[in-house]
Amino acid sequence: MRQVLKDRMGRKFGEIRSEGTREVICDRMGRKLGYYDGKYTYDRMGRKVGQGNLLTSLLTNP
């Protein structure tokens, strides 16, 4: 599954992809920003961000 995230003008600024049991968030350039394993969210360095799906909090302004 793939979910494209767009701004009000319809421009892509991110994407959430399913990779096995994980959901991975990427920026508009396709760089991985982090992942959600079903219980916790981790940043691109593998550091725990918090409990639950916090993937969109890893996005910065375009």
Q: Determine what percent of the chain is predicted with pLDDT higher than 90.
A: 92
Sorting pLDDT into bands at 50, 70 and 90, what band is 61? low
Is the pTM higher than 0.85? The answer reads: yes
Calculate the average pLDDT of the chain: 94
CB-based contact 62:47 (threshold 8 Å): no
Domain range list for the chain: 2-58
The label of the residue with tokens 């959901």 reads: 23
User: Mean pLDDT across the stretch 28-41?
Assistant: 96
Q: Which two tokens stand for residue 1?
A: 């599954």
The string of pLDDT tens digits covering residues 11-20 is 999 999 999 9
Amino acid at 13: F
* CB-CB neighbours of 7 under 10 Å: 12
Assign 52 to helix, strand or coil. coil
